[in-house]
Chain A
């Protein structure tokens, strides 16, 4: 039966995250960007929600919400600041993955991530080149009681500041998805932060190269880890980026819409001009569609844990990469010169939406299109 009405829990998570977003994340956005890290007071607030790092109660967490709930949380936190939200969600993603699939070796790391507000773990996931999970070239090779990890990961959060990385790769013989934790200090791990980024600096992005050998016990889920289950978990993480983009773009559209009702030109608030209101309305139409598409993809992840959801998730990610930057662009354009100066926050969302689009971009899913 078709039923997409949100539960009480969904609504209360949305409300709580929205209020943290506007009260805590938004005021810290500029500072986090300048510092290249999330202020510890903000981090502690996020940690307490339990929503950025979904871990089961028996492991000391606040429970694992369904994917729909977590996407709602991600969207609404990003409404405050996408960079801070992304940082928290990705650090939490490591706890989530280790909690879901890890064995004894990884329990301590989960516990540490839950209790230590200073602990950062870098999810070494994306490779660029539009590669899907099944095409990753990072190899994780088991040999006796050791694991060899070789590959280059881009868009890695907390590059250079993480205590350890959770590396996503593949067994070169079977092609099975493999996850392995690698201490940041291990010989053969090279993190490069570069000169900074267009946006999202709070997440401390960088490139990390791995040519390292670690104990076999670092293999998440051990040697018999189910590739399909790991893949499904990773699809959920991909979806988080789209949800963060949605939150940032929605904030930009909301901000610009309010501005349009207040700014007077040619004798009336500029919202009265269709040249102003229609582009914002069109942006909103696309964002509402994106919200539904994220919700459907998340609900499929919740319902059919062992199916291959990569085509569904790829489609969402690709749509978000297109519409979120355009929506934030419309927002800047609505404010005109005021959108271009940092007295207004719209420029952060403009930069962030474009930056988020580069993380998980597959050229094969869309083509370049002109504006006029």
Chain B
């Protein structure tokens, strides 16, 4: 074959193991996590039953996944899809946040040593605070300020939608040191939990979906941190040359985006499977004409999910191959979620009112996956990125 769109058998088998595990172990906790807005007490025990390493601090002591021919990013797509197939509650517990990843990308060697490496070993949670009440996609509008005061920085401002912001070891806060500089004045600062003035205003927002993921509102009220906590600078305030600077750091974060699509594809596929099983059991209740439409629908939905997988795998294969291209990632993030929403909705419709009952998980997944086209760069932002690949920065 000239090209191969199939993953290797070992990776496929690994995916099947994860899928079986997520259905048998994770899914039974899904409804309770959704209702309670917090994970059941036994979530660690449940995660500990995972039979293979996935690179999660909560599974087999952070054992990495086996080395497959496909490489790191494709392997993680397979993990995301198959774990999400069971339910999404587990996702925040699979990794340990992204604050330390920002440190790794933007920090000086000393900062990486101090803030990244211990986290990589311990698996403790770190958070990332960028969004504020007044902005989301337009990150140049950061209002949180960092003011130099002797050997310290003083942080003041409000941050919202910080995943696990209430339970992290530290949070990387984006703040401006000079509003007149616009986007160029924005810097990243490491603020450890427990620092006076670092206040968790709300541990978890009341949300449409992913209710058990803690989405925190944070307040920094004259929060004083040492000068050396400004990423990419030494304590004296001199810029230290790092791998690629802020742009590279943002690109590094953006390549994570297709994983969001893979979660959407995972729950959408689970919805199709559940719908199909129930519909087949009830087949006698449908007229021949309707049954024919239903079979066509199931086929079309599976085709749609395959199309989503294709753009996502394409994006991540590029990353595995060393091409850090935001456009491929944007296509991988922008294409699948909206269609996955339609897939889950169509599955509910095919099942009739029973389809939207809380006795099934389809209605939960319909609520959960709405976020996939919003966070980590909304669908609109992905379109801008793709548009700019065609038309340059004039595209808005």
Contact = CB atoms under 8 A, between A and B. Distances in A.
Q: Do A and B come from one complex?
A: yes
A222 B278 CA distance: 39
B150 interface: no
Interface in A192-233: 194-199, 205, 207
A236 B199 CA distance: 56
Contact of A337 (B206, B297, B363, B374): B374
Given A154-B354, A354-B348, A370-B342, A364 B290 contact: yes
A280 B297 CA distance: 27
A198 B136 contact: no
A128 B138 contact: no
A265 B135 CA distance: 7
A363 B209 CA distance: 27
A340 B372 CA distance: 11
Contacts of A372: 334-335, 338-339
Contacts of B388: none
Nearest to A347: B208
Interface in B310-352: 334-335, 338-339, 341-343, 345-346, 348-352
A370 B307 contact: yes
B391 to A, nearest CB: 14
A342 B209 CA distance: 10
B36 interface: no
Interface stretch (B54-62, B108-116, B375-383): B375-383
A339 B374 contact: yes
Nearest to B371: A340
A162 interface: no
A276 interface: yes
Nearest to A272: B396
A357 B136 CA distance: 32
A350 interface: yes
Interface in B110-152: 131, 134-138, 140-141
Given A337-B131, A359-B353, A198 B137 contact: no
Given A129-B290, A333-B379, A273 B396 contact: yes
A169 to B, nearest CB: 16
A368 B366 contact: no
B294 A354 contact: no
Interface in A119-173: 126, 128-130, 135, 137, 154-155
Q: Chain B at the A interface: mostly helix, strand, loop or mixed?
A: helix
Interface string A328-350: 01001100111111110001001
A347 B371 CA distance: 11
B89 interface: no
Given A154-B352, A198-B363, A354 B345 contact: yes
A358 B206 contact: no
A273 B343 CA distance: 28
Given A265-B135, A336-B137, A347-B208, A371 B375 contact: no
B193 interface: no
Contacts of B350: 361, 363
Contact of A332 (B293, B356, B370): B370
Contact of B352 (A155, A194, A332): A155
Contacts of B357: 194-197
A129 B349 CA distance: 10
A129 B285 contact: yes
B356 A355 contact: yes
A351 interface: yes
Interface string B276-300: 0000001001110110011011001
A355 B286 CA distance: 21
Nearest to A274: B396
A242 to B, nearest CB: 14
Given A342-B208, A362-B290, A367-B296, A126 B352 contact: yes
A117 B367 CA distance: 34
A329 B208 CA distance: 12
A340 B352 contact: no
A198 B366 contact: yes
Contacts of B366: 198, 354
B358 A196 contact: yes
Contact of B161 (A337, A361, A363, A370): A337
A65 B6 CA distance: 62
B243 interface: no
Contact of A195 (B137, B207, B359): B359
Given A198-B348, A198-B366, A337-B161, A363 B293 contact: yes
Contacts of A198: 348, 356, 358, 363, 366-367
A130 B134 CA distance: 46
A21 interface: no
Contacts of A361: 349-350, 352
Contact of B300 (A197, A199, A205, A368): A368
B301 interface: yes
B208 A340 contact: yes
B343 A128 contact: no
B303 to A, nearest CB: 8
B275 to A, nearest CB: 11
B208 A363 contact: no
Interface of A: 126, 128-130, 135, 137, 154-155, 194-199, 205, 207, 264-266, 273, 275-276, 321, 325, 329, 332-333, 336-343, 347, 350-351, 354-355, 357-359, 361-364, 367-372
23 contacts: A126-B353, A128-B351, A129-B285, A129-B290, A130-B290, A154-B352, A194-B359, A195-B358, A265-B137, A275-B380, A329-B341, A333-B373, A337-B136, A337-B375, A341-B205, A347-B208, A355-B363, A357-B345, A357-B349, A358-B356, A370-B307, A371-B339, A372-B335
9 tightest A-B contacts by CB?
A128-B352, A371-B338, A155-B353, A265-B138, A198-B363, A195-B358, A198-B356, A347-B208, A342-B206
